[in-house]
A and B are shown apart, each in its own frame.
Chain A
């Protein structure tokens, strides 16, 4: 978590654009929130069931940990729309991005409940120490 789902009309998202958009989504999320990149998942669908496309060519939906400010969420959406537009050639108004909040305490990743925003560094250190200890056994 976060999980970003990118749903596109068939043909709107060239295959070669997907790794670039995935890299941008990861970078943007980390730059804006300070989260580590290994938390960021990006899944692409062509004509997928969700999020509904409505009148858009690409919809980008992020389930992110609760605790981000409205300004951070707006920046994430704005920069991700610009990335998709850049890599697809679509007009920005054909792309929409939005996020919803999920409490960190509802999510387990790597066998540990996710940290609250701002507590990632200590969490990662403890998590990696745990994995190293398990590997040594």
Chain B
């Protein structure tokens, strides 16, 4: 399984959106890293997320690759992952932080 941590803020993602985001993120992991995503869905309680010192609506999605990636490999994947979250979470680019980690 590919480890995927999705940190979202309470009240901003509907159950239907969550199901789609989990499925799409898992499919992303399967496509690029060979195994489906094991989704660790973390909900930040409402009013407990800040960006630049102000209450925020940011989401953070972090996926661990199955191998060490060169920038030429990682950057397109970051764009694809971000696009999944922008589309299905209805977020702007500035609200999505995407991370693709090398395995430890």
Contact B52 A105 (CB under 8 A): no
Main secondary structure of the interface of A (DSSP, over half): mixed
Which residues of chain A are within 8 angstroms of B48 by Cβ–Cβ distance? 18, 43-45
Contact B94 A41 (CB under 8 A): no
Q: Which stretch from B21-29, B31-39, B71-79 is at the chain A interface? A: B71-79
Contact B78 A41 (CB under 8 A): no
Contact A19:B75 (CB < 8 A) given known A41-B58, A106-B99, A106-B100: no
Q: Which of B55-77 contact A (CB under 8 A)?
A: 55-56, 58, 60, 71, 74-75
What is the size, in residues, of chain B's interface with A at 8 Å between Cβ atoms? Answer: 31
Which residues of chain A are within 8 angstroms of B93 by Cβ–Cβ distance? 110-111, 131
Least Cβ–Cβ distance between A108 and chain B, in angstroms: 4
Contact A41:B101 (CB < 8 A) given known A105-B71, A108-B82: no
Contact A102 B50 (CB under 8 A): no
A1, CB-defined interface residue at 8 Å: yes
Contact A22 B44 (CB under 8 A): no
With most chain A CB atoms within 10 A of its CB, the pick from B49, B56, B93, B102 is B93
> What class of interface size applies to chain A in its complex with B?
20 to 34
Contact A43 B7 (CB under 8 A): yes
Complex Cα distance, B44 from A42, in Å, reads 10
Interface residues of chain B, those whose CB is within 8 Å of chain A, are: 7, 42, 44-45, 47-53, 55-56, 58, 60, 71, 74-75, 78-79, 81-82, 93-94, 96-102
A-B contact sample (7 more), CB < 8 A, given A38-B94, A107-B97: A26-B50, A27-B53, A41-B60, A44-B49, A108-B99, A113-B78, A131-B94
Interface residues of chain A, those whose CB is within 8 Å of chain B, are: 1, 3, 15, 18-19, 22-23, 26-27, 37-38, 40-46, 49, 102, 105-111, 113, 131
- Could you name 18 residue pairs across A and B whose Cβ atoms are closer than 8 Å? A3-B60, A19-B55, A38-B52, A41-B97, A42-B49, A42-B51, A44-B44, A44-B45, A106-B101, A108-B75, A108-B82, A109-B94, A109-B96, A109-B98, A110-B93, A111-B82, A113-B71, A113-B78
